[in-house]
Structure 1
Amino acid sequence: MKLRTRKNAFLQRHADKTIQRLASSYPAVLLTGARQTGKTTLLTKITDAQAVPYLTFDDPTEELSATNDPKSFLAFHPHPVIFDEIQYVPHLFRYLKIEIDKNRRNGMYYLTGSQQFKLMETATESLSGRIGIVQLYPLSAREIRQDIFSDSFIPTKKYFLERSKAFSAYTFSIHKTWQAIYAGGYPEVIKGKVAPADFYANYLKTYIERDIKKLTQVADEMQFLQFITVAASRTSQLVNYGDMARECGISEVTAKKWLSLLVTSGLVYLLKPYSSNVEKRVVKTPKMYFIDTGLAAYLTRWTNPEVMQTGAMAGSFFETYVIAEIIKSFANNGEEAPLYFYRDKDKIEIDVLIERNNTIYPVEIKKTATPNTEDAKNFFIMNRLKNVRIGQGTIICNCSQVAAVTKNKISVLAVPLEFI
């Protein structure tokens, strides 16, 4: 099987099939995620053949109409219909439920919105059993190169064998990897319509003005922007609210609130530490990752991929990029990524643990192109985990082919980051 691509102007999204599957099973589908990840473009493409009408609550007139008289609003906008930016009218969910229950059919309402955790809570409470939810992140590396492979990343030998065949004629390039890390995955940047620095500057301005100011109470916009920058400088690190608060001149309570805003906006992902009933020595603090390395690079003022590759944050950016790619592989299939990290009080750490079917797959992330046994030195700790099977140990790195690495009689595979 060779790596096949689709040749068209539209970058095919792997969430496409997931959305269509859910629309054939539920009356409503909610596509959530950060701004400008391509939610509207994807939904309009999927519903184009049906000529489904489109309406956005970014329009203050439509927002006011839906707020003042939701019953009449829905009467004048019969299904099927796309409602964009529905986070501005969360009360509408209860009226959607009424409309759905009157004459239930699948594919009645297509919804988009940011602030996904709040939206999910409201949507699942009001439309329980009536709605399917998909998280859309910026473009994955698979989508950018139009790789049709869409399985969630489970690091098994079978998975790697299939990927090896697909990449048999592929030219690996560390330079291209760092270009991808620097650019990020927002569609407007990838399509070359705007320079990354210009895009991210306007993106942050729009994000603060439309999402933060409208949906929450942030008194000092410049201070909030400073907080986002501090968060970006700490990507791939354990969360330390006290240090972040001191650096920004805010209270620890405010730091917690503001980081929560970044998470609910889809800009930041918190990786939970792994724990079990038996293991008592695991650190409980989560690790923080920016979902888009391009945005994080802009915030931390890296001016080009070459400087970033050799800079002090190179390892952090590489790890962040890998984590984000793994998350996207699950999200595009409508799954929550079953990811954890391991770190005990002796500071023995494994970057990622992937849990599937009572099996734990340990993964280390290294920016090196020449992995060795030292990169797998902490995998011995897996023997301490009880009541679970231990799957294939993996090192994701900048190598160009699968290579076996053995440490303390534990078999480990080093694999190219492109295999995610």
Structure 2
Amino acid sequence: MHGYFPRAAAGALERALARAPAALLLGPRQCGKSTLARQLLAQRSDAVLLDLQDRADRARLQEPELFFEAHRHELICLDEIQLLPEFFSLLRAEIDRDRRPSRFLLLGSASGPLLRQSHESLAGRIAEVELTPFLLQEVAHAASWQQLWLRGGFPESLLSAAEDDSVAWREDFIRTFLGRDIAGLQLGLPLPLMERLWRLLAHSQGQTLNTSRLAGLLDLRSSRLQHLLAVLEQTFMLRRLPPLEANLSKRLVRSPKLYLRDSGLLHSLLGIESYDDLLAHPQAGESWEGFVIEQLIAAHPRWRPHFLRTSNGAELDLVLERGQRRRAYEIKLSKAPRVSRGFHELVGQLQPERAELIAPVDQAFEARPGIWVRPPHESSTPDRSLASPAP
């Protein structure tokens, strides 16, 4: 058993419940949603938790109106809400009878269908919070950044007693995800094809999406491939990082970049089992880039993430945008990183409020006027507000 690790999203979840009748906590399976919810509920005397994977708990909802009436003055937490999508319309009717805040806490593992249901049925009644696997600042006292990068942020992987145990957990997770979660979506694809897609995506880490090439390798129509990529996004496994729409003089790359979001799962798909394996792997740089990008995006939830690349190769690995504000990042796997000419030129044209090079250095230093080199934990302190209201 591992001790409880305070999560950066906890405060955001409490604020979401304080202002809205319902809060939806989203994130991949086994990232800690249930643990966070139980920790929050343990601090209250007016809460009831139902796990919708449990038959007995589901039986208590056979007459939902009676259940809601019996617990109207309690916080009702429904775990694995994606198993009962028809409940969103029932929740709407119940909330409209009593719109007090902090009535429902919903936990879910598949963002696409859940977000559609919540937006359509609970617009103006629900606040959404995303929980990622562990972030750097959440586990700094228990794990090094090297360990977090190698093993990824899923609690059972990161906190395993031995490297072999971590590897075995991730391999089991991948098998279960493909064999149960993806199969449960009834996509009509054989398991070996989904396994091949995931491995191709691992070998495409940090590359721009070439739909025709990837579809050809899998013998799929491009439209079918796009649907599969959307499913992997909705289950929090894949990130398609969009290009920044910027008014610059140079031609820009318009295709999104692909990243498997958890570095530990990426490494398992690439056959990487140790830190030495990782440093020697030809995709170590792309893995580091994806790892840092996820840390930065999680720390800036109200900022829209992009990348920027010109046709001649100048690039900003990550641009965070919020209204008229921009922050630009270059990411390098080097103890002695140097600011690239392309990064310097694009920063000069874009004029972001912050320009940083993130690298595994021991301490921050100013590389050029206005451009700082920082270790990842110094740029991944979360913004205060992590909750976003449903439109």
TM-score normalised to structure 2 length: 0.88
Change (3 A) 1:62 1:220: farther
Distance 1:264 1:56 in 2: 21
* Closer/same/farther in 2, CA of residues 73 and 38 from structure 1, 3 Å limit: same
Matching residue within 133, 138, 148 for 1:138 = 133
State the alpha-carbon separation in 1 of the partners of residues 8 and 21 from structure 2: 21
| Greater shift in the superposed pair: 23-32 or 270-279 | 270-279
The question of 1:369 aligning with 2:335 is answered: yes
1:212 counterpart letter in structure 2:
I
Unaligned runs of 5+ in 1: 1-7, 148-172
Q: Which runs of 5+ in 2 are unaligned?
A: 381-391
TM-superposition CA deviations, 1:67-90 (whole Å, max 9, x none): x76545645665421101111211
Residue 241 of structure 1 is matched in structure 2 by: 211
Within 5 Å, give how 1:158-169 maps onto structure 2.
Answer: none
Which residue of 68, 87, 90 corresponds with 1:92? 87
The residue identity in structure 2 corresponding to 1:138 is P
Q: Is the 8 A contact 2:77 2:106 kept in 1?
A: yes
Displacement of 1:103 in angstroms is 1.7
2:10 to 6, 9, 16: 16
Q: Percent identity?
A: 25
Contact (CA 8 Å) 2:148, 2:158: kept in 1 or not?
A: no
- Tell whether the 8 Å contact from 1:144 to 1:190 is kept in structure 2 after alignment: no
Instruction: Report the 3-state secondary structure (helix = DSSP H, G, I; strand = E; otherwise coil) of the residue aligned with 2:265.
Output: helix
> Which stretch of the first structure deviates more once superposed, 118-127 or 53-62?
53-62
Q: Which amino acid aligns with 1:34?
A: P
Name 2:117's counterpart in structure 1: 122
Measured against aligned partners, the alpha-carbon deviations of 1:227-250 in whole angstroms (never above 9, x if no partner) come to: 112112211111122222233333
User: One-letter code of the match for 2:187?
Assistant: Q
Deviation at 1:188, TM superposition (A): 1.2
Contact 1:26–1:131 (CA under 8 A) maintained in structure 2: yes
- CA 1:315 to 1:179, structure 2 compared with 1: closer, same or farther past 3 Å? same
CA deviations over 1:269-320 (Å, ceiling 9, x no partner): 1111111356672222111112210011001111211111121011001101
1:109 aligns with 2:104: yes
Q: Secondary structure at the match of 1:90?
A: coil
Given candidates 15, 18, 28, the residue that maps to 2:22 is 28
- Tell me, what secondary structure is at the counterpart of 1:50? coil
Partner of 2:354: 392
Q: Give the conservation status (yes or no) of the 8 Å contact 1:178–1:306.
A: no
What is the CA-CA distance between 1:62 and the residue it aligns to? 5.4
User: Given the alignment of the two structures, is residue 345 of structure 1 paired with residue 311 of structure 2, yes or no?
Assistant: yes
Q: Which residue of 1 aligns with 2:175?
A: 205
CA distance in 2, matches of 1:355, 1:298: 32
1:381 aligns with 2:351: no
Q: In 2, distance between residues paired with 1:326 and 1:25? A: 27
Structure 2 match to 1:417: 376
The letter for the 2-side match of 1:44 is R
Look up the equivalent residue of 1:398 and give its one-letter code. Answer: P
CA offsets per residue over residues 136-184 of structure 1, 9 Å max, x none?
110001111159xxxxxxxxxxxxxxxxxxxxxxxxx9xx543321111
Contact 1:379 1:393 in 2 (8 A): no
SS of the residue corresponding to residue 390 of structure 1 reads coil
- Aligned mates of 2:56, 2:186 — CA distance in 1: 21
Within 2, Cα distance between the matches of 1:317 and 1:256?
A: 23
For residue 221 of structure 1, report the CA deviation from its aligned partner: 1.3
Give the partner amino acid of 2:377. Answer: E
1:182 aligns with 150
What corresponds to 2:37 in structure 1?
43
Report 1:225-374 matches (<5 A).
Answer: 225-276=195-246, 281-330=251-300, 335-373=301-339
Q: Whole-Å Cα distance in 2 between the matches of residues 86 and 279 of structure 1?
A: 48
User: Aligned ranges for residues 48-63 of structure 1 at < 5 Å?
Assistant: 48-51=42-45, 52-59=47-54
Q: How many residues align?
A: 374
How far off its partner does 1:362 sit? 2.0
The verdict on how the C-alpha distance between 1:287 and 1:98 changes in structure 2, with shifts beyond 3 A counting, is same
CA distance in 2, matches of 1:56, 1:73: 15
Task: Tell me, in whole angstroms, the C-alpha distance in 2 between the residues paired with 1:411 and 1:80.
Answer: 48
Query: In 2, are the aligned partners of 1:376 and 1:395 still within 8 Å (CA)?
Result: no
Shift of 1:397: 0.6
Cα pair 2:303 2:322 within 8 Å, conserved: no
Q: Residue 207 of structure 1 aligns to which amino acid in structure 2?
A: F
Checking the alignment, whether the CA contact within 8 Å between 1:56 and 1:84 is kept in structure 2 is: yes
**8 Å Cα contact 1:32-1:114 kept in structure 2:** yes
Cα pair distance change 1:209/1:64, threshold 3 Å: farther
Measure how far apart 1:56 and its partner are: 1.9
**CA deviations over 1:76-130 (Å, ceiling 9, x no partner):** 6654211011112112111111111112211111100111132122112211111
Match of 2:383 in 1: none
Q: Tell me if structure 2 keeps the 8 A contact 1:63–1:88.
A: no
| Secondary structure in 2 matching 1:273 | coil
Relative to 1, partners in 2 of residues 1:377 and 1:283: Cα closer, same or farther, differing over 3 Å?
Answer: closer
Question: Do the aligned partners of residues 115 and 401 (structure 1) sit closer, same or farther apart at CA in structure 2, a change above 3 Å counting?
Answer: same
The amino acid that maps onto 1:298 is S
Other structure's SS at 2:337 match: coil
